[in-house]
Chains A and B, each alone.
Chain A
């Protein structure tokens, strides 16, 4: 089974905060990490490989330093990593990103199953997975909480819904996006870390993947960010004092609208 996992390098949200003085994002000490949902997608791919044979390819689109998440993916069980990186990709929205990833996947091989995290924690859009499936004309299911079985050239999965879940079967090749309930990702092994350190990570440019200039980066993006601003601050906050009963009474006084 040939498996491909899309992985994004994202800023660690625990470090992202507003600087109360300047009201801009404080970025000092913001670490880059593998998008948490993608970690679950990677783990699922490695488990499928262990059960059914094949290889796992980790693919990332980002600046040169995104290579780090691909090394981490190899340490966690991926066989190889490929980075798609070009200044011309800067400013890509989800439309241009799914185009770029689709071109890159076409360039590097053919796959039975493509796995993505449900969404990236910096953008939260959840659009690239379904968009990529549309580009590649693959059947897909989003928010998979369990892969049940791989049989007869198809895969049976549980798709998380708002009110429970559906059991869905789809033929391979296919694309899945996964939620974190699907598995518990492993920590990298020592052997894996050594393999990761030595791994050769090829970097593909826009030209390498035959991307059309009008479809990539900012120019290829249908959406434009026209304004970035701070959310309205929460009104005055009140921290009550006194005994538990006194505090509860004060709270009820303020919550009358809800009662």
Chain B
């Protein structure tokens, strides 16, 4: 409960200004809290009169935090390879482990995955917990969840990181719920607080309009998913040595209620737009499938992939897995070229974390120019082919 000390409150309105949820208003010279308060605490921090306090009811019992040690990375394996985000997690995981002075481990569940252990060790893992079982050949929510849960209960790591991929975002919340552990989705920054060693997890909220730093004070493990391409991958060192611990899982944990009947790998979806460094995106301004042929050529020249706004997907010019934005995917490539996209907030929230944004649009007042690093005002049917040709010439 957020309490207002009426004696202390000077009615300055700083809290009202600060509140992102419109939950606090100053009435007759005193702050009044409404129903939409989420207890985020940002008003408490700005109140110079110290009139605001968050009162908590009886909370959970604090776990014995010292019993939990080490940093873990969930190594995701699908269709014959370890997901690239795993190596990015090992990169950041190594840094966190060194800051904490604890080991870094990778957990590798799968079938026929033994051969991947060396690469995980080269990328920074001190230990690989290997669960190699035919029951794990397909991703099934319940089996993968129980395997991770069993391993975490057994070895008690203080931090568990996973990729914010289709599999990671599906399996990890289940595990966290059963462990009673805090979980932060889609982190873009991870750090260890000096002193108590707490994991500080930073993520965008409201589609990147604000950033929030989150911690788990009383529970372990501290769990987080990390978006692909946000962290730099670990530089592999083939001379590193590490230990492989093969773990047997009891058969009852490997039985599943879920049956995977078929796996369809889509030709056009082989490139996951969340995992490429360059995206060329098209919107309504492309005027049809022919327009997409143009941006495909540009994407090829740049070694990137093609993305789209909702308008282009709804028009049927390109399939849904390419959609960027609020009801599509959130991407953060190094370079994002928006062609004929007006840049409505629903699109912007899915791409504004890109390192460099180039906007090509006929309308110089299009909102996309407000979030662009570089803007070209002109006819994309002229600009895009010209850009593709000049890049091609340069490469020669």
Q: Which residues of A contact B (CB under 8 A)?
A: 11, 13-14, 16-18, 22, 24-25, 27, 30, 36-37, 63-65, 87-88, 90-91, 93-95, 98, 121-131, 133-135, 139-143, 145, 156, 160-171, 179-181, 213-215, 217-231, 234-235, 237-241, 244-245, 247-249, 251-252, 254-255, 258-259
* Between-chain CB contacts (< 8 Å), 6 pairs: A95-B180, A130-B177, A167-B263, A224-B214, A225-B212, A248-B383
Residues of B within 8 A of A222 (CB): 60, 180-183, 216, 218-219
Residues of A within 8 A of B184 (CB): 223
Establish whether residues B260 and A228, one from each chain, have CB atoms under 8 Å apart when the complex forms: no
Establish whether residues B57 and A228, one from each chain, have CB atoms under 8 Å apart when the complex forms: no
B185 to chain A, nearest CB (A): 4
A97 to chain B, nearest CB (A): 10
Establish whether residues A223 and B205, one from each chain, have CB atoms under 8 Å apart when the complex forms: no
The B248-282 residues at the A interface (CB cut-off 8 A) are 257-266, 269-270, 272, 274-275, 278
Residues of A within 8 A of B169 (CB): 126, 142
| Interface status of B326 (Cβ within 8 A of chain A) | yes
Which among B14-22, B118-126, B230-238 touches the partner chain? Answer: B14-22
Bound Cα distance from A22 to B183, whole angstroms:
31
Bound Cα distance from A258 to B355, whole angstroms:
12
Establish whether residues B334 and A13, one from each chain, have CB atoms under 8 Å apart when the complex forms: no
Residues of A within 8 A of B379 (CB): 244
Partner of A226, one of B38, B213, B375: B213
The B294-341 residues at the A interface (CB cut-off 8 A) are 302, 320-321, 326-327, 330, 334-335
Establish whether residues A231 and B211, one from each chain, have CB atoms under 8 Å apart when the complex forms: yes
A46 to chain B, nearest CB (A): 19
- In the complex, per-residue mask of B135-149: 1 if CB is within 8 Å of any chain A CB, else 0: 000110110010000
- In the complex, per-residue mask of B104-140: 1 if CB is within 8 Å of any chain A CB, else 0: 0000000000000000000000000000000000110
Establish whether residues B374 and A171, one from each chain, have CB atoms under 8 Å apart when the complex forms: no
Residues of B within 8 A of A11 (CB): 206
Establish whether residues A122 and B145, one from each chain, have CB atoms under 8 Å apart when the complex forms: no
Establish whether residues A251 and B56, one from each chain, have CB atoms under 8 Å apart when the complex forms: no
Partner of A252, one of B258, B321, B344, B387: B387
A249 to chain B, nearest CB (A): 7
Bound Cα distance from A163 to B319, whole angstroms:
13
A81 to chain B, nearest CB (A): 18
Partner of B182, one of A214, A223, A234, A241: A223
The A interface, classified by DSSP as helix, strand, loop or mixed, is mixed
Partner of A255, one of B183, B272, B335, B346: B335
Residues of A within 8 A of B181 (CB): 95, 222
Q: How many A-B residue pairs have CB under 8 A?
A: 308
| Interface status of B194 (Cβ within 8 A of chain A) | no
Establish whether residues A36 and B326, one from each chain, have CB atoms under 8 Å apart when the complex forms: yes
Establish whether residues B257 and A171, one from each chain, have CB atoms under 8 Å apart when the complex forms: yes
Establish whether residues A180 and B261, one from each chain, have CB atoms under 8 Å apart when the complex forms: no
The B350-375 residues at the A interface (CB cut-off 8 A) are 353, 356-358, 364, 369, 371-375
Establish whether residues A231 and B210, one from each chain, have CB atoms under 8 Å apart when the complex forms: yes
Residues of B within 8 A of A37 (CB): 327
Residues of B within 8 A of A142 (CB): 141, 166, 169-170
Bound Cα distance from A161 to B170, whole angstroms:
10
20 new A-B contacts, CB < 8 A, other than A222-B182, A231-B210, are A13-B206, A24-B17, A90-B1, A91-B38, A121-B326, A123-B205, A141-B170, A161-B139, A163-B78, A164-B266, A166-B138, A166-B263, A181-B320, A219-B58, A226-B213, A228-B40, A228-B213, A229-B210, A235-B373, A239-B372
Bound Cα distance from A234 to B368, whole angstroms:
13
Establish whether residues B209 and A25, one from each chain, have CB atoms under 8 Å apart when the complex forms: yes
A213 to chain B, nearest CB (A): 5
Establish whether residues B173 and A126, one from each chain, have CB atoms under 8 Å apart when the complex forms: yes
Bound Cα distance from A213 to B349, whole angstroms:
36
Residues of A within 8 A of B208 (CB): 231
Bound Cα distance from A170 to B257, whole angstroms:
6
B52 to chain A, nearest CB (A): 14
Residues of B within 8 A of A234 (CB): 357, 371, 373
Among A65, A156, A222, A255, find the residue whose CB has the most chain B CB atoms closer than 10 A.
A222
